[in-house]
Amino acid sequence: MTKQQRRQYKAIIAGKTYIISGEASLPHFKSTEELLNKQIKQIKVVAPKLSQLDQAILLTFNSISDQLYKQAEIDELREKIDEMQAEINLLQSQKERLKPKKSAVSSIIATAKQESRTRASNKIFKETDK
């Protein structure tokens, strides 16, 4: 997105208004705002004596921790995909090796059959032309 395509979103987070600027869709901004406020409320319940700054730091820590877990999960899935692709490639190469090769004799026989069919067809057409 260019600068002109960036969106501005007015979010209310923990009772304070913020103008968020970014390339995300409006539903994405709204979902992020809702999730953030929900998590702030949860932290306030669990640790009501923490200052707002400490609650925000705890929320940030939790978010980054979640991000690391998700990245590890993505990396693991990509590794599985790579392993499966390698297995598919191996099976395809094994299948290619197992395909019967046309021998010179079978090639000659196939050519002879085709020529025989062609001669028979030509003979039929010549007889009908008379």
Domain residue ranges in the chain: 1-46
Rounded to two decimals, the pTM is 0.60
Closest CA to 18 of 3, 39, 4, 36: 36
> Among 1-10, 14-23, 84-93, which stretch is predicted with the lowest mean pLDDT?
1-10
Q: Rounded mean pLDDT of 81-107?
A: 85
Q: Is the pLDDT of residue 74 over 80?
A: yes
* 64-68, 76-80, 91-95: the lowest-pLDDT one: 91-95
Is residue 21 within 8 Å of residue 6, measured between CB atoms?
Answer: yes
